[in-house]
Structure 1
Amino acid sequence: MTSFLRSDRSTAVAVWLGIVALFILAMVVVGGATRLTGSGLSITEWKPIMGALPPMGDAAWAEAFHKYQQIPQYKLVNAGMTLDEFKGIFWWEWGHRLLGRLIGLIFAVPLVVFLIRRQIPRRLIWRCVGLLLLGGLQGLAGWWMVASGLSERVSVAPERLTLHLGLALILFVAVVWTALDAFAGKPRQASVTRWRIGALIFLGAVFLQCLLGALVAGTDAGFVYNDWPLMNGHVWPQDYAGAGVWQTLAHNQASVQLHHRLGAYAVALATVFIVAMAGRSRTLGPESKQAAWILGGAVALQVLLGISALMMVVPLWLGILHQAGAVVLLAAATLFAWRVRRL
């Protein structure tokens, strides 16, 4: 009879969700590389099942290349591209979509097994089902993003790229948080201190900063104003204002990059405050203080990566590291927020 009782915690479920989180991290990193290499529009169709296989044979490759040649990106940016060059960008996008399919399998199959074996803590069952649905929504958002660049644009719309990344990061945070809950079990008494609210606000700020970074990627704003701390010798960029509020917020390179810089300064200053206050706190336990130091290290590394990527005009390897660093920072902020809620 005891085998049918649900425990409040499950190490196996925590490990499974931890693996899923690592795959989401890989998905975001490959997605960033796909964007930096201009590969995201190389596959012009969305076939969730049949599209899992790449073109087989010369005829299939010729057909895929022909479809790419019909969109504005080829005609206006990559005209004259050879088939071998097309394959170079195709594999990035295909790998990105393959990772998405793998994440779906890695999540859905063990979920069914754990449900049958009654290993998922009862309080986490519907949360896990919700994560599965969110993953499906993320796939739909990905195609909606790609579709924006197939008819009138030479790249995807920045706001759709931002939504696509934002959903991926929400999924990542939720998976990490659920993994921690599955490993540690239900807290005996949740924290009601100011740290609980403050840590969640900080986590939201880090998430917002990631979205601002997505707008930088979507507008190629990292390839302009490549000095620091000034912007082409000015504190405030001269062409800050776009043609309207929305253009300024989401489409103008100067304003988009400035907003990302300001967000980075705010997050860095807040982190210094958090680490200092955590060290002096009599309320936080040693685990929470350790999480604060991890957070401080993640922020410092990300700031260095961001400045280096900007001043080196975003080489592919450094752009990938900066995007990976953003996800690691988000994980550190999630750990800190989760930890202080269990004082």
Structure 2
Amino acid sequence: MARRPVFQEVTETTPRSTPPAGGMIDAGPRGARGAIRAWLIVLFILVAAMIALGGATRLTGSGLSITEWKPVTGALPPMDQAAWQAEFDKYQQIPQFRIENPDMDLAGFKHIYWWEWSHRLLGRLVGLIWATGFLIFLATQRIPAGWTPRLLLLGVLGGAQGAIGWWMVHSGLSGNVVRVASYRLAVHLGLAFAILGLIAWLVLSLSRSEAALLRARRAGEAKLFSMTTGLMHLAFVQILLGALVAGIDAGRMYTGWPTMGGEWIPAEIWNPTLGWRNFFENPALVQFIHRMVAYLLTVFAVVVFLRARRSPHPTTRGAYGVMIVALAVQVLLGIMNVMHASPLPLALAHQIGAVALFTLILRARHHARYPYETSVRGTVR
């Protein structure tokens, strides 16, 4: 082999080494992560709005105003007087009208109808935006490797949510009941929060490259992550209990605080004739459990926050700081709701507060699992 002079210039013909390939998720077309993240953020906002609108629908007693499930044709509201009268005639056949609203006229029916119709329309919009985005990303092959099942799962859960919504409504259309079954309401709300949480986790994961996430995971704080996972589960249980409270209007009874009707443990906490149904139908027991879990959640959150203060990562400490502030606001809103018998504005603020708190717990959990790198120059994002 010929020798090369020591001072020979290196030209463009000198072989270059092939640059290393990135992670699988970064192997897709450029911009896929950012576009998918933006699409998911839109879905997150819409699902959060669905939860708030669903709460308003429940609090205004509007959830049973539409007595049929028509996923496609039901998107159009009544267009003339005859159509409105036909819808009102159907509503007059259910127990809620006969027992609770026998004096309601067509104008009053239109008021509750628009709440439920808007809620269902927003649900259809969520499904349409998911399907449109997913199909576009799939057809253009812009979904990063390994992410198709995750994004498809959102659509499956959304479809299940629509079916569960009708299952919930159907429970209030017969017999002598004037509202939907509280446990079905809890299932419906619980799945909504599960969908919201999944979207939030995916958005957080898409905010950094796969390579950055892999590096961050090696610096993750396992103990803090485990504690926050427990906090997340307890918060989810409290959300389900809140649905049970709303389902039987228990929040508008026992308006004192910290006692309930002047008692630390209300005398009506157990009705022998109800048996196990006390946990779903007894306002005293349902509200008492909701209060006790709120206290437990608060104490546990403070413990997790104090543990997070020992984190070496500033952004992680900041995430837990925001979380504990949101918890304090939510506790205050809960107390105000109890003392004012859950008026619509306060009740909606409390429900939106639950969305914010649950999301911030998930964000803190993500930071514990994938902390941002720090150096003497500051946080590396």
| TM-score, structure 1 normalization | 0.95
Residue 214 of structure 1: how far off its partner (Å): 0.2
Counterpart of 1:228 in 2: which secondary structure? Answer: coil
Aligned equivalent of 1:220: 249
Residue 194 of structure 1 is aligned with which of 223, 229, 232?
Answer: 223
Write the letter of the residue equivalent to 2:361: A
Q: Which residue type is aligned with residue 167 of structure 1?
A: L
Partners of 1:185 and 1:337 lie apart in 2 by 18
Shift of 1:310: 1.1
Counterpart of 1:271 in structure 2 is 301
Which deviates more from structure 2 when the two are superposed, residues 143-152 or residues 311-320?
A: 311-320
| TM superposition score normalised by structure 2 | 0.86
> For residue 297 of structure 1, what is the aligned residue in structure 2?
325
* Identical columns (%): 43
Give the helix-richer structure, 1 or 2.
1
Q: Does 1:316 align with 2:340?
A: no
Q: How does 1:42-61 map to 2 (within 5 A)?
A: 42-61=65-84
Shift of 1:15: 1.4
Shift of 1:185: 3.2
Q: Distance in 1 between matches of 2:294 and 2:38?
A: 32
> Which aligned runs of 4 or more in structure 1 are off by greater than 3 angstroms?
242-245
**Which segment drifts farther, 115-124 or 91-100?**
115-124
User: Cα offset for 1:199?
Assistant: 1.1
Match of 2:89 among 66, 91, 103: 66
Q: Give how far 1:294 is off.
A: 1.2
Going from structure 1 to structure 2, the CA distance change for 1:329 and 1:245 (only over 3 Å counts) comes to farther
Secondary structure in structure 1 of the residue aligned to 2:259? coil
> Over the residues paired in the alignment, what is the CA RMSD in angstroms?
1.6
What does the per-residue CA deviation read over 1:161-215, in whole Å, with 9 as the maximum and x for residues that have no partner?
0000011110100011111112223321433621121111111111110000000
AA aligned opposite 1:302: Q
- Higher relative CO (Cα under 8 Å, sequence separation at least 6) belongs to 1
Rg (Cα) greater in structure: 2
Cα displacement string for residues 249-285 of structure 1 (whole angstroms, at most 9, x for unaligned residues): 1111001001111111111111212222212334xx1
Name the CA distance, whole Å, in 2 between partners of 1:342 and 1:7.
Answer: 24
Maintained 8 Å contact 2:270/2:282: yes
Structure 1 residue 23 corresponds to structure 2 residue 46: yes
Residue 245 of structure 1 deviates from its aligned partner by 4.8
Alpha-carbon offset, residue 244 of structure 1 = 4.7
Contact 1:145-1:160 within 8 A present in 2 as well: yes
1:334 to 337, 362, 368: 362
How many pairs align? 339
Residue number in structure 1 paired with 2:284: 254
Secondary structure, in 3 states, of the residue corresponding to 1:229? coil
Instruction: Tell me the SS of whatever aligns to 1:239.
Output: helix
Matches of 1:91 and 1:287, distance apart in 2: 44
* CA offsets 1:48-71 (integer angstroms, 9 cap, x no match): 000001100000000000000000
What is the match of residue 185 of structure 1? 209
Would the aligned equivalents of 2:27 and 2:144 in 1 still touch at CA under 8 Å? Answer: no
Segments of structure 2 that go 5 or more residues without pairing to the other structure are 1-21, 372-381
Which one of the candidate residues 227, 238, 261 is aligned to 2:267?
238
Aligned-partner residue type, residue 180 of structure 1: L
Is the CA contact (8 Å cut-off) linking 2:224 and 2:304 kept in structure 1?
Answer: no
C-alpha contact 2:65 2:91 (8 A) present in aligned 1: yes
Matched, 1:125 2:151: no
Using the TM superposition, name which of 108-117 and 43-52 deviates more: 108-117
CA contact (8 A) 1:124 1:178 kept: no
1:207 is matched with which residue?
A: 236
